[in-house]
């Protein structure tokens, strides 16, 4: 079965370029999440308890807020550059505007330099990384931003589309949603793109994490829906943040065949059934084989305690975000 056939059969495609409101991602009166993006889906696959604590209840380590802010400002800066360039602005002018806006937005961003996160992901390093990336890839990037049918450059693409099945609770289909940085033409093929920042070494081991990978498979599918063309995969621009040497940038490609996309969708049905079952039970089991993965789960210390005292440890080591600040993939960017 081709990717086009899968999409025709599985999706009621709703190409949405701009999203104006952020409704709840749960079915009213339940804990059943109906709108899923790669982040929340990945968290549930990783460990239902992690999903419960982090995404659903909003417990967040202080250092994570630094990583998140750094990543999100970096993404936004590069997207603004992509937009400017696609609209004919010259490299030096675009970089000037991007850095000015970045400095204005991050006026309040002063992470504690005595923490690892604050040391690497400081405001100073954010500006340095942005300038470095744009000088490295910007003016002579062989990957060119694709144009959508509407004539708009394919950057800052928020997507939201319905599946043709939904949870048994409520009367609505599941929605897959997210945000793709841009779609590019590269070596005569169309690819979705994503940017990653890391303090880890950028070698084959780093790129292996994307095959297989929940986010990259969803982005390939979403890219196909947004453009109406068979996007082959995702181009990943990874940046290694360094303190004394120049920041490093490596570009990797990951491809998905139609059979892989079909398999992912079939697996998704099972995963979402499991998520619904957890929500109905009000219980998200621990995956105790994942605690040492992903650089070590931030909740490991909490989960290692007896259940009756975990709440105390959560409150001492984490902050709980208010409901409106918790992860919501339907929130517009």
Nearer to other proteins, 99 or 250 (CB): 99
* Residue 324 within binding range of other proteins, rule CB under 8 A: no
- Please, which of residues 122-151 interact with other proteins by CB under 8 A? 123-124, 127-128, 131-132, 135
Nearer to other proteins, 106 or 198 (CB): 106
- CA of 117: how far to CAs of 28, 133, 272, 321, in Å? 37, 20, 33, 19
> Could you tell me whether strands 175-186 and 155-163 are parallel, antiparallel, or unpaired per DSSP bridges?
antiparallel
* Residue 246 within binding range of other proteins, rule CB under 8 A: yes
* Residue 239 within binding range of other proteins, rule CB under 8 A: no
Nearer to other proteins, 135 or 281 (CB): 135
Task: Classify residue 28 by its DSSP letter.
Answer: T
- CA of 253: how far to CAs of 143, 246, 247, 293, in Å? 12, 23, 20, 23
Q: Hey, what's the torsion of the CAs at 62, 213, 265, 158, to 10 degrees?
A: 60
* Residue 202 within binding range of other proteins, rule CB under 8 A: no
Separation of alpha carbons 31 and 54, rounded Å: 14
Which residue in 20, 107, 114, 188 binds other proteins (CB under 8 A)? 107
Nearer to other proteins, 129 or 191 (CB): 129
* Residue 108 within binding range of other proteins, rule CB under 8 A: no
Nearest distance in Å: CB 283, other proteins? 48
Using left for φ > 0, alpha for ψ between -120 and 50, and beta otherwise, residue 37 falls in beta
Nearer to other proteins, 99 or 290 (CB): 99
Q: How many CB atoms lie within 10 A of CB 89?
A: 16
Which residue in 20, 114, 188, 244 binds other proteins (CB under 8 A)? 244
- Please, which of residues 70-99 interact with other proteins by CB under 8 A? 95-96, 99
Using the contact rule CB under 8 A, the part of the chain among 34-42, 100-108, 282-290, 294-302 near other proteins is 100-108
Peptide bond into 262 cis (omega under 30): no
Structure tokens at 129: 């990384």
Which among 247, 251, 231, 223 is positioned nearest to 142, based on CA atoms? Answer: 251
For binding to other proteins (CB under 8 A), which residues are involved?
95-96, 99-100, 103-104, 107, 123-124, 127-128, 131-132, 135, 242, 244-247
């Amino acid at each position: 079965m081709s990717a086009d056939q899968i999409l025709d059969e599985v999706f009621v495609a709703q190409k949405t370029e701009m999203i104006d409101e952020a409704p709840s991602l749960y079915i009213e009166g339940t804990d059943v999440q109906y709108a899923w993006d790669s982040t929340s889906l990945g968290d549930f696959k990783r460990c239902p308890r992690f999903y419960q604590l982090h995404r659903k209840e909003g417990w967040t380590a202080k250092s994570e807020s630094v990583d998140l802010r750094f990543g999100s400002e970096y993404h936004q800066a590069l997207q603004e550059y992509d937009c400017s360039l696609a609209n004919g602005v010259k490299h030096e002018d675009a970089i000037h505007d991007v850095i000015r806006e970045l400095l204005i937005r991050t006026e309040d961003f002063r992470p504690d330099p005595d923490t690892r996160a604050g040391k690497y992901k400081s405001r100073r390093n954010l500006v340095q990384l942005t300038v470095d990336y744009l000088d490295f890839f910007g003016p002579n990037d062989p990957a060119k931003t694709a144009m959508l049918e509407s004539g708009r450059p394919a950057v800052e693409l928020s997507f939201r589309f319905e599946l043709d099945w939904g949870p048994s609770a409520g009367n609505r289909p599941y929605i897959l949603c997210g945000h793709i940085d841009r779609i590019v033409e590269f070596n005569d093929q169309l690819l979705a793109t994503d940017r990653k920042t890391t303090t880890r070494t950028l070698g084959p081991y780093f790129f292996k994490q994307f095959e297989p990978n929940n986010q990259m498979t969803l982005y390939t599918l979403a890219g196909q829906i947004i453009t109406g063309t068979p996007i082959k995969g995702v181009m990943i621009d990874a940046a290694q943040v360094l303190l004394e040497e120049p920041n490093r940038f490596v570009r990797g490609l990951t491809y998905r065949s139609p059979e892989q996309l079909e398999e992912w969708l079939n697996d998704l049905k099972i995963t979402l059934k499991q998520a619904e079952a957890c929500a109905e039970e009000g219980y998200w089991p621990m995956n105790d084989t994942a605690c040492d993965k992903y650089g070590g789960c931030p909740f490991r210390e909490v989960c290692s305690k007896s259940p009756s005292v975990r709440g105390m440890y959560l409150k001492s080591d984490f902050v709980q975000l208010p409901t409106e600040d918790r992860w919501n993939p339907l929130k517009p960017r």
